[in-house]
Structures are given as C-alpha cells and as structure tokens.
Structure 1
Amino acid sequence: MDKFCKECGSSITDSLNFCQHCGHKLEATKEQPKETAVTRVKQTRNYTKKQKILISAAGALLIIIAGFYLWGKSYTSPENTVERFVDALNEKDAETVQELTILNGSSISKAEANALISLAKEDKDSLNLDTSNLKAFSSDNELFTIIDNGKWLGIFPRYGFSLLPQYAAVSIPFDGVASTFNEQEFPILESDESQVVYGPMAPGKYSLRSSFSGEYTEVESDESIILADSYSDWVSHSVELGAAYVTLELFNNHGVPIKNAYITLNKKKIPFDEDLRIESLGPLNLDGSVKVTPTVETNWGEVESESIALEETYYEIGANTLSKTLMDELSEAILLYGEEYAKANASYDPSLFTNITDDMRETFQYNFEYYRGEGDYFSGQLNSIEVDYNNLRFDSDQYISVPAKFYFTSASHREGEKVDLGERIDHTDVEIIYDSSAKKWLINSSYSVDSWFDDNFTAATTLKGSQKFYKASKTAAATDSEGEASSTDLNSDVEETTLNYIYQLVEAINANDYDIVRPYIKDGSSLNTMQQDLVDRLNESGMTQEVISASVSNIEENNGKWIVTTDETIKLTYESGDEETKDYTWNYTVEQVEEGVVLTDME
C-alpha cells in the first residue's frame, strides 16, 4: 500500500520513515494485538558436540548478519548519506563527492566534484551545509535533491544527490576561442562567433581558462566563474583575452600622391585598401607587444613611418609620406630661388631667375618696372631659409605649397642713399610645381603671409644661404655697344665685392676659417697676410663679431685700381661676454684680375 506524506502530500518509498521530498518524519504504525500464546511443554533434546558447534556457528553468523544489516541500514540511511556528503565537501574528498552525486543520470567528473567543493567552501550562500535539520537541509538547497539511487550491495536502499544542471554562456571577443573548466573540456550546447554555451555541468566554482592561437598572436586568460543558478538558466560570463581585431586608417597628412601603402607585421606586408584602410586585422595582442610599421610608396620612393605599439582597436595613422628625395629636391629649388631673388632684385633683372615659371617671371618684370619707376632699390644678401615640411601640402599631383621663412640682410633705399642694412624676414607660402618636360621643380608663386604664420610654423630644416651681397644697380646687366662691360658694371662689381668681403670676413673670424673670406682677397697681397693673422688672433682671444651695417660711401679709380671707402658698424663680443659696438671708416684697394675684382690692401 502506497504511503503519502501528510506534510507535502508526496508519495513516499515504503522503506523510508521520512519524506524524501520535504524531510518530514513519519509516525510509527500501530502494532496489531498479539495472539494469546499457548503454553507448551518443551522436551529436552541432547545434541552431539558436533551439532553444538554447528549451532553455535550458525548463531554467530546470524548475529553477524543481523549486525551487518543494522549497520548497512544505518550507513545508507538518508541522514548518514547527508552527513557523509557534507563531510566530503568540507574535507575536499572529491572521490566521495563523485560517488554521492548524479547529473542527468550519470556520475560527475573529478573536475566537477572539485568545483562543487570550491563552491561549498567559498560561496556559503549557495549551499546550506547544516545537517542538524534534515528538513531544512533538503528545502534550503536548490542546487540538488536527495533521491533514491537504487540498492547498495543489492540489499540496502541507496540515496544520493541529483545535481541541477548548469550552463555557462561565455561571451568571446572573437571566433576561435576555446575554454576549459577546471582543465576539463565540456560539451558545447550551442555557439556563434560571439558566444559559446557550455553544459550541462555540475554546480560549482570553476577555474575558467580561455585561450586562442592565431596567425598573429597566442593569448590566454585565467578567471573564476560560479555556476549556481537555481533555475538552470545560462550563467553569462565575458572573457577578457587582452587581444582583439584592430582597424587601421592611413591619413595622408600632406596629400602626397600615394602609389601603394602597407604595414609590416611579423615581417609580413599587409596592404591598405583603396580607401587606405585595413579592417579587422588580427586578433592581436593589445598590451603593446605587437608593433606595426606603416610604409607608403610615392613617386619619390618609399617612406617608412615610426612603428606603432598596438594598445587600442582603432588607429588613425598620420603616416610620413615625405621622402628624403622629395625634400632634397624641394630644398634645392627653394634655396636656388632665394639666392636668385637677392641677385635679381638688386639689378631688377627677372632673366636672372632660372627656376621660376613664366607667369611668375612676368610678375617680377612688372614689379621691377614699378620699383625702378619709383626710384626704390634693393641691396642685400640671403642668409638662410627655414622650411616647414610638416605643413607641406599637395594641392594636386604636381602643385605643392611649402611654408618658408627667408632671412636676408638687406635694405630698401633710394638711389645714391647710404645703404642702411638690417635683418629682413619674409614669411611666405611657396607654391612649387613640377615641370615634367624640363624634369625639375619650378617656383610658381611666393605669397607673403601675416604674423599668424608663426603660430603654426615649425622649421623642419634650415638651408644656409651663400651670404653673397648684391648691391642695387639700375644697369647691372647692361653692356656697351661693343659688348664690353661698362664702367658702371665695374663699379657695381667693386662695390659688391667689397661689401661681400666685409660680411664674409666676420663669418671667417667667428668660424675660425679663413677660407670663407679668401675668394675676395688676392693671394700673396698684403691684405691676405694681414687678415689671415687677424682671423687667427681674434679666434684665440675668443672674440666674435657681427656686422650691424656696412655701406660704400665712395669709389675712386686710380691707375686701373679702385679706392673704396666704406662706413662700417661692427658689434664686438668678447670672451667675457661683454659687448661693444664700434664705427669704422676704411679705404680698401681693389684690383681687377682674370676672375673678377679682389681686395689687395686697406688703410
């Protein structure tokens, strides 16, 4: 006859004296009245010795069997089973935990048993291990149920714990990530490129190891995950591997025409697409250990940028697109233009330019005619040019704008006036085009800009000028009817050479290099010996000099020589740091030689 629990109404196994569902203890069944015993007179029977031994042995066996039965019944009782289960959890006895637990009708693995032990130890809220109240023990633990688990030794009812299946929904940063739980692989219930669901597995606290091995990187992570959901729902967990797919976008800062672009990663070239992007590269480590090196190919050669240590998933790369070849070519064109600018302006002769476009030559022609008509003249020299290649821009495949600063020592003056030289800085935006027929760069324009230019200007290179001085002359390029150089030409050459000598002598003193001024002095002359000694002597004293101003006040021709009178203002800086400015008036002797005119003496 079936028994039912008065507490919860569930069916109870006949052999139990409690409800296996709620733990309610059953009332003992009333015993039936015993029949009246009939008194019988026993007759005495005599046994042989052998029979007595057999009887004794049988009695002992019956006692042993009865004792074993009582022990077995107690050992396999629900109360004892609960005690043994809790003891196994507390003592980290994974073998016993395996013996006493069932998951979906099968025994659990050692990895699962250890996870359950860890859960019991470290997460007290998930399991109630108080065995003093069997009813509370059964009702408070939602992760397992006490069940009848067959017979022990085919005799005793055996009880166990049916575990609630758990599922781990692991979010992965990219496809191909493999995960183990306590170093064991578990079945995959379902998966896609962003999530893998593992299970069923026993409740517990697991050591989750996730790993990935790909073309560019190998990464792994060790984390903990607790699977203790009382509804057997998926437990979500996001894996952090320190690696991800990376997108790279090349930004052409200068607008240089790019033929090809790629990065180098682990000695492998990976090209940018036509939009100069590389999408979803990787997965890659993002701890800075992986480096990529961008390279662009232009008409002026390959340009390699600095390597990038990857730590983010997106990079906008301002790649270097200016090759040394291109910058050298542009520097040469800009420097030549600066030198010819001083020379052409001094003589108002646009034909002296050799690397400007026809349009720009017409502009200079117009300007020169205007200045000549106004009686305004230019005298000066190019000292240096600073070029800001950082802000260079290609306006098309051939037009380039380059910010530049031209440093002159010069003066604008009227004819016959004393030339008061000073520093002049032209802030310009130089437009350069490539003449494919002539195969060279030409200056197309040089626009002056305002003071805001300095805010963004950073000199990437400084080009040193010749510092050759050009004296203003209305007829510097004129010749007489026989094609011979006119006297005006010679006077202009004498004046120009004298002024160049003054500036270059100071440069020679400061650099302790007499060869800087040697071209303006006749070898073997008294001035040669005098100034060679002067350079050595002033350098030893630690003095440096600076030309504040220099002008020619008079030129007299005498027997094929010229006596040139100059007014000079020179700043002297002594080794101590003290400074002094002095005015000088000198008379130089200038002679004509085969190469031109040179200085021979001074007084």
Structure 2
Amino acid sequence: MKYCKECGKQLKEGAQFCGECGTSYSSNQKQDSSTRVTNSVKSKPMDKKTKRIIAAAGLALIILFGGYKAGEALTSQNRLIEKFENALLEKDEKAISKLLTSNDKKLEISEKSVKGFVAYIEKNPDRIGEIIQGIESQAKLMEQQNNSNKNEQTMAEEFSPDNMVNLEKDGKILFYDKFELNIPSVYLNLSTNYKDTELFVDGKKVGKSSNADFEKTFGPYLPGIYKIEAKLKTDFVELTTEEEVLLSGFDNKESIGLYLEGEDVTVYFDGDDTTNLKGKLFINGEDVGVNPFQESTFGPVLTDGSMNLEVEAELPWGKIKTAKIPIDTNEIQINLANNENFQKTLMDTVVSGAKERLEAYTSGDIEKYSAASPSEKDSLQVKVDEAKEYDISFKGKYLGSAFDLNSFSVYSEEGKWKAQLSVNEKYQSDEYYAGESPDMQNSEEYLDYTLVFDDKAEKWLVDGRYSAWSFNDEHIKEFKEKKPKEYVTTWGNSTAASATASSNEGTSEEVTKLMDNYLNQLVSAINSIQFDSVSPYLAADSQLYKDQKALVERLGEKGTTEELLDYQVSNYSQEGSETIIYTWEKIKINYADGTSETKEYNWKYTAVYNADNELVLTNLEAE
C-alpha cells in the first residue's frame, strides 16, 4: 500500500497523482526498505481550466468579504447618525423626513410635517448637538449589549430614551442589524370657550367647536414649534387668539386652552315694558340683525371700550338712533334720548313753551300756551287767577335757556311716552303791585321739565316745570333770544303798560337811526383809525366815549379791521330819562396776519338826550 509523500494520503492502485494534493508519481518508482532513493521528478503544470476555477474562487471570496464590509458600513448606526446630523445642520426638510420614522402609524412624516420640528431646530441650534449626542449615547449602549451577556430585556430596562429623536433597532438586512431614527408623536388637546370657533394649526383648519366650553384632541404631530389659533367671526365681532407652542415629545399629549376674550352684553331701557318695540342693534356701525328690545343679551363682543353700539328704535314720533355708546362693561343702560335731533325737538318745545307761557300768563288767555299739556295749562290758570286776586302785575322778557345735555331721558309710563330734561332759564323781569313801578332785574331759574308725547297731535307738550335738584353745566347747549319781547300783564297796571307802549312808539325811529349810524361809523372809524367818524353818536363826557376812542387807537396800531355783517335792535325801553337798547350784532374781525373770525354779540346800550336834544350813547354792557 502506497501513501503520498506530500500529504500522507493513501494512494489508489496505479494512480499517477495524489487525489488529495495532486502530487504525481511514476509507475516504476521503487522504494527499498533499507535504501532510501530520492528520485527527483518534475511536476506536471495545471491546465488553464483549473487555474480559472481557482482564480474565480479567490475572487468570489474577496467580493464576498468586500460586500460584507460594505453592507456593514451602509447599515451602521454611525453612518445613519452622521447623515442625520448633516441634514439638521443644513435644515434639509426633505432629507430629515426620509431619515425619521415613527412607531405611530397615524403619523405621516413628510417635508411638510417636519416643518415644526425644523422650526424648533432653527430657533434652538444648540439642540442639534444635544440631539446627536443623545443618539450616539444610545448607539454605544447598543454596542455594549452586543458585547455583553445581558439579554435584550435587561438592556431595555437600562436604556431609557429621553431624547427628541431616538435610535432603535429594526430587525436585520441579511447578516446586518438594521437601525432607524424614531421620533415620537404628539397629540394636541385643544379647548375653547365659544361655539363655532374655528381651530387652526400652522394655518391649517383642523376643527370647529360644536358647543361652548369645547374640547377635542387633534393629531398626531411631530415634536416642534407650532402656531395654534382660534377664530370666531359673528355678526358682532371677529375674535382671534393665537399661541406659539413647543411640543417637546416627552409627553404624548399637550393641552392648549384657546380662550377668546369676549363677553355677552345685556342692554337695559328706562320705563315700562319695551319688548313690543321694533328696533335694530348696530355694532361698530354695522346692523347685526338683532332687535335689542326683544333680545337684550347678545355677544360675544369686546368690553374694553374698543367697540361701540347704537340702538335704533321705532317710536310713535318716528325713528330714533342713539349716539354711539362705548362697550366698556357687560351691562349697559340705553338712553333713547341720546340723539341730537331728538334733543333739539325737546329743546325747541321748551323754548317755545317758555315764551308762550309768558304770553298766556300776561294776557290771561291760557290757550296761547299751545306747547303745554292740559294739566300744565290748568296749573298756569291757577297762577293767573292768584295774580289777579292779589293784584300782582308782571313785566318781563325771556332772554334764553341753557340745557344740560346729560339730563335728557325718554321713557314709557302707563302707556304714554315722557321725556325729562334740566334747563336754566334766564329772564329780565319784575313782579309788582298796583301803583308800583317795575324794577326789572336779570334772574335765572333752574328747572326740571317733564314733557309728554301727544299721540293725537303728534307732538311733544310741556307737562310740568319743577325746581331742579341738580344742573350739570359741563355739557350744555345754550339758546339766546335775539330779540327778547317784553311782556306786561293786562290787569292791575294798564296805565303803565300803555305808557310804555306809547313811549316805545315815539322813540323807535330815533333808536333805529342812532344804532345804524353808530355801528356803521364805528367800523369806519376802526378801519380808517379816525375816531371822529363815530364820536357824534357818543356822549362826550361818558365812559363809552373814552372806551371807544381807546378801542379805535388800539385796533389801528394792531392793523385790525372789522366788517359789520348784520345787526338787529332786539328791544328797547324808556326808563326815566334813559333809553335802554338791546342789540344783536354779527361782526367779522380781520387780523394783520391775514386770519379772520366772525363773532356774535348781544349788547345792552344806554342812551340819553344831549343838549341838542339828540339821542346819544353813554354806556355799553354785555347782555
């Protein structure tokens, strides 16, 4: 039995080559047990086919080894971490979206959905290092797991991911571990306080509240920065609130309260039940389709004074729309008399009534008090009867009224509409007994007026006059009688009344001529700086003479000129040797700088006859 000298393998009978190593042998080779013969035989070379097989096998081994190493590199966690870090540094939303995964199957990861996450990185660039460091720490823990005898459950207990992004194993690819970057999902629990509020996340509408105190969960979302909004648009107002929130990912759900700062407002009206009235509510000038008399509570609106309301009411005398009222509280008292035209109607009634009352009183004919209600006429009749009984006479003039605009109110009472206001009435008058001469003095009466609307006559009537408890002069409207008429009672002193009338008739032409000359020549004297133009109409020794001379000189120095636009002799009377003249004058004043202004004056002049029996002025005072 023969054995191969190279590998020791038993050779088959007659074999020329070793079947194990390929060493060749000659058939005539002999080996003596005592003599060792070494016969050097040249080996036969391998053929080309064998060489190709051997080369291919070697190349395959190299390729397999290289492929293994390449696959190991492609699937390594270090390469994944490096790609993610570069994507974060470049804010590459597309690359980031491809590198991230989530265990929440509902979470869609796309370029659009990662914007909030990228926004957080942009605002907090230092977090990139922290996130990558956290992922690398997780990779090291996984390597320790592979090199230790600890089972996966034990390692999982030691590994507690607290990063915004976490490294996780996701099975194998062939021989290699597969890794992924997992990001948690976050759900938004949004709540708001008004029905029909629209909810938005980063400008996208996600829901609408179905009731007040609404609460619902939306999502999922990636961790990051988001703009959360709530919008409510009603007939009254458009309310919005927004909040920028960070969803860290450490909690699966974040609760955000989007509460709108609006309130319901209730309006109230004076008087009896007004729910049968028709009306409109205006918010910031817009009709919101609400009848405030039937729906007194409305909203939501802002109560910080930035909004205003108006109420329009259909009333027996027509429509009234109140002035704008700032909404600065959730309970508002509405005063329907807060209307300029309506207030003017009431003021005109009071002014007419004041003059008619004097006419009716002094004549004794109560029906001349047409602006009064029957009860007010009856009250005046009692006064007339008392004056006649006690022989009390009256002489006087109504000069005007000042109205407290804050005092106006209108309300319904026992089926009637009434109004109230406060007024300061001004008179020049005197009451005196028979045989006495009147001493007319200026006086004021503070009165509270009550007016009632006469449905049949379709007008307001004076229903009562009472002493006022208070009068606020901070917000007033003043009326002045341009031509005050003098009223004298027709009983008890008819002689004095007729004498006054006769005197007035005798001097009317003189008074008119005097005032016409004086006013026109005074303007001429001022403009020409020639006092002699007006001096003939002034008493030479009077204070008025001195004052007007100084006026002409002073205005001349300043370069001021005047124009007489209009004037009227309102009234005049004879009081002993003096004639009292009341005028209304409208003057345009032109200043040296080119500006001008128009003023109106009410004056009281005193005139006397001089030595030439001509009427001249001696005194001037404001009326």
| Alignment TM-score, normalising by the size of structure 1 | 0.65
Q: Following superposition of structure 1 onto structure 2, how do residues 103-122 of structure 1 map, counting pairs within 5 Å?
A: 103-104=102-103, 106=105, 108-120=109-121, 122=123
Task: List per-residue Cα deviations over 1:309-340 (Å, max 9, x = no partner).
Answer: 88x79573746546666545534432232113
Is residue 479 of structure 2 the alignment partner of residue 462 of structure 1? yes
- In 2 relative to 1, CA 64–176 (structure 1 residues): closer, same or farther, beyond 3 Å? farther
Q: Following superposition of structure 1 onto structure 2, how do residues 189-268 of structure 1 map, counting pairs within 5 Å?
A: 194-208=214-228, 223-232=243-252, 234-239=253-258, 247-252=264-269, 259-264=277-282
Is residue 167 of structure 2 the alignment partner of residue 146 of structure 1? yes
- In 2 relative to 1, CA 321–162 (structure 1 residues): closer, same or farther, beyond 3 Å? same
Structure 2 CA distance for aligned equivalents of residues 500 and 46 of structure 1: 166
Paired letter, 2:497? S
Q: Secondary structure at the match of 2:91?
A: coil
Task: Pick from 413, 432, 437 the counterpart of residue 413 of structure 1.
Answer: 432
Task: List per-residue Cα deviations over 1:329-372 (Å, max 9, x = no partner).
Answer: 53443223211333344456656534434444444344345445
Task: Pick from 388, 394, 412 the counterpart of residue 378 of structure 1.
Answer: 394
State the match for 2:520 in structure 1: 536
Structure 1 CA distance for aligned equivalents of residues 290 and 239 of structure 2: 25
| Count of residue pairs the alignment pairs up | 498
Task: List per-residue Cα deviations over 1:252-306 (Å, max 9, x = no partner).
Answer: 4698968322134696551224455252358x99996x88654222222222345
Gaps of at least 5 residues in structure 2 are 1-6, 10-19, 24-43, 143-158, 527-547, 549-566, 590-600, 617-623
Task: Pick from 291, 294, 312 the counterpart of residue 295 of structure 1.
Answer: 312
Q: Secondary structure at the match of 1:108?
A: coil
Shift of 1:95: 4.2
Is residue 608 of structure 2 the alignment partner of residue 584 of structure 1? yes
Is residue 423 of structure 2 the alignment partner of residue 422 of structure 1? no
State the match for 1:400 in structure 2: 419
Q: Secondary structure at the match of 1:111?
A: coil
Deviates more, 1:370-379 or 1:424-433: 370-379
- In 2 relative to 1, CA 297–498 (structure 1 residues): closer, same or farther, beyond 3 Å? farther
Task: Pick from 129, 133, 140 the counterpart of residue 132 of structure 2.
Answer: 129
State the match for 2:180 in structure 1: 160
Structure 2 CA distance for aligned equivalents of residues 358 and 177 of structure 1: 58
Structure 2 CA distance for aligned equivalents of residues 434 and 303 of structure 1: 14
Instruction: Answer whether contact 2:323 2:339 (CA < 8 A) is retained.
Output: no
Instruction: Answer whether contact 1:167 1:201 (CA < 8 A) is retained.
Output: yes
- In 2 relative to 1, CA 582–329 (structure 1 residues): closer, same or farther, beyond 3 Å? closer
Structure 1 CA distance for aligned equivalents of residues 45 and 503 of structure 2: 162
Shift of 1:380: 1.0
Q: Secondary structure at the match of 1:336?
A: helix
Q: Following superposition of structure 1 onto structure 2, how do residues 503-542 of structure 1 map, counting pairs within 5 Å?
A: 521=509, 532-538=516-522, 540-541=524-525
State the match for 1:30 in structure 2: none
Shift of 1:212: 6.4
Shift of 1:539: 5.3
Task: Pick from 494, 497, 503 the counterpart of residue 492 of structure 1.
Answer: 497
Task: List per-residue Cα deviations over 1:211-230 (Å, max 9, x = no partner).
Answer: 66777887877753221242
- In 2 relative to 1, CA 382–301 (structure 1 residues): closer, same or farther, beyond 3 Å? same
Structure 2 CA distance for aligned equivalents of residues 436 and 91 of structure 1: 83
Structure 2 CA distance for aligned equivalents of residues 469 and 442 of structure 1: 24
Instruction: Answer whether contact 1:259 1:298 (CA < 8 A) is retained.
Output: yes
Q: Following superposition of structure 1 onto structure 2, how do residues 358-373 of structure 1 map, counting pairs within 5 Å?
A: 358-372=374-388
Structure 2 CA distance for aligned equivalents of residues 602 and 122 of structure 1: 94
State the match for 1:9 in structure 2: none
Shift of 1:66: 0.8
| Alignment TM-score, normalising by the size of structure 2 | 0.63
Q: Which has the larger radius of gyration?
A: 2
Is residue 357 of structure 2 the alignment partner of residue 341 of structure 1? yes
Gaps of at least 5 residues in structure 1 are 1-37, 477-487, 503-519, 554-565, 590-600
Shift of 1:149: 1.3
Instruction: Answer whether contact 1:254 1:392 (CA < 8 A) is retained.
Output: no
